Amino acid sequence: MNRVFTALTGVLAMLLTASAVASAHDPREDRPNRFISPSGVNIPLVTSPGVRLVDTFPDTLGISGEFARTGNFFYVSSLDSINVFDTSDPLHPRLTGTLPNLVFENEAMSYGERKVGGQLQRFVLVGNDLYNVAVDPATGPQRGRIGGGEVIVVDVTNPSAPRVRSRTPGSTATPGAVTTSTHTVQCLTTRCDYAYTAGDESTFSIIDLRDLDRPVQVATAKSPASAPNSVFSSGAGHYWDFDANGIGWHTGSGGAAAFDVSSPLAPKALNGTNALGTQTPWNDFIHHNSMRPNAGKFRAARPASVANGNVLLVTEEDYFNDGDELACDRAGTFQTWRVPDLNGTAYLAGNPNLEANKGTIEPLDLINPVALGDGLSTPVGGFCSAHWFDYHQSGIIAQGYYQQGLRLIDVRNATDLRQYGYATGGATEVWDAYWVPKRDAKGVASTQKTNVIYTTDLVRGLDVYQVDLPR
């Protein structure tokens, strides 16, 4: 939701004149492994004990990223490119391929892979939220749909030569064009036959990707998570997360809602946040994203615990800070919500029109690490909110906190959230944080994570951290 237009100065001209890119050059071959600001000043980090910066790639204006399911690759979407990193050595990822790509904003990368004719094909989805210009090695500059509302398939099968493969129809008058917000777009499964958009005005789009050369919108559906609130009078959805039990979680201005997505074209609402889902301090702007770890262990009668699969982890984004741009201690929070049941029959009976605030999912605790006073606070421009996060099986989440850097939060007691560690700097804007997955001998990622974190930073680029974790 961040609108960082100033960072795009000069990028458009670069993209429109860029030539085909056959391979990517890693600037760390030319200079020391440290972050140098545009003015040439070495900018240090302030870290808590047990958190160590081990590598950095400073030439990427990082917005979002995603790991390949098979193969040692990490994909980064920035304001000016799609970059492919080889993660064979997780502590020192190497840039292998670049697609010049001016986009606003593709805030959440989504990855898919499938075998076609016996050949494995890998791809990522780009959500064109406002505008897009890609410089494809084969075709040259390609301009996307101005005003957003477009899904772009980028083929990354060849890691050294990512390319635009296809787009949804660019004209709203064309059958199959997207009619809701594509601020984020998420695959339902790794195969990615279907994807859901962020949505708006209480609806979201269902994108058919079975033919990767012809992605189209095939339906829309209603969601209470994209219902209006005091900030979004028309409603704004933001993100979909699909847990290990096949439940889709939609977050937005209307709070959070759970759906049975076993039939992708007919998602069934199961539950949603209660009356506090759109009230201060639980949702002053939007429920930004969510995750339900250990979903397969869910039992309605068990005590609220992440280990029991009945706790929803939520970011509440609020970088307007109650009208005070410098009040980082009152910016968005990380939260836990208890999921008492996923009984769609009872929920729909009491809420046939899928309105917000009609569910039984209730808040447990919230935390704003900046309010604790730890680390280096940089309230410049007001972007101080909690943002994207990732869960580690030890019970520690890694969270991008915009200009407040990387924050680690202990969720082992869902009713008593605590800061576990941090890495902050004088010039930083961390949008997302990812635990590097463990892989088997064939390179297949598991649900277990290593103690290595990648952060996508609009200022610093891609940073690599090691963290000492609880046993």
Q: What is the CATH number of the domain that holds 442?
A: 2.40.128.630
* Residue 160 is assigned to a structural domain of this protein: yes
Q: DSSP labels for 437-448?
A: EEE-TT-BEEEE
Peptide bond connecting 159 to the previous residue in cis, omega within 30 degrees of 0: no
> What pLDDT is attached to residue 22?
33
130 is a domain residue: yes
Instruction: Give the pLDDT confidence of 313-325 residue by residue, as tens digits.
Output: 999 999 766 555 5
In a domain, 397, yes or no: no
Q: How far apart are CA 57 and CA 446, in angstroms?
A: 25
224 touches 278 (CB < 8 A): no
Does residue 461 belong to any structural domain of this protein? yes
Is 0.75 surpassed by the pTM of this model? yes
Phi-psi region of 241 (alpha: psi -120 to 50; beta: other; left: phi over 0): beta
In a domain, 381, yes or no: no
- pLDDT band at 378; cut points 50, 70, 90: low
- At 227-284, the pLDDT tens digits run 999 888 899 999 999 999 999 999 999 999 999 999 999 999 999 999 999 999 999 9
Q: E-strand spans in 209-301?
A: 216-222, 237-242, 247-252, 255-260, 268-272, 286-291
Three-state DSSP state, 348: helix
Domain of residue 466 covers 46-222+435-471
In which band, very low, low, confident or very high, does the pLDDT at 370 lie, cut at 50, 70 and 90?
Answer: confident
Radius of gyration of the chain (CA): 21
CA gap 198, 193 in Å, rounded: 17
- Does residue 177 form part of some domain? yes
d(CA 252, CA 134): 29
Residue 350 CB burial class (10 angstroms; 0-12, 13-18, ≥19): exposed
Q: Is 304 a domain residue?
A: no
Q: Is 358:224 a contact under the CB 8 Å cutoff? A: yes
* CA-wise closest residue to 8 among 82, 61, 57, 76: 61
Tell me if 440 is assigned to some domain.
Answer: yes
Q: What is the pLDDT of residues 278-311, one digit of tens each?
A: 999 999 999 999 999 999 999 888 999 999 999 9
Each residue's pLDDT tens digit, 141-200: 988 988 889 999 999 999 999 999 999 998 888 999 999 999 999 999 999 999 999 999
Into how many domains does the chain fold?
A: 1
Tell me the CB-side half-sphere exposure of residue 286, using CA atoms within 13 A: 27
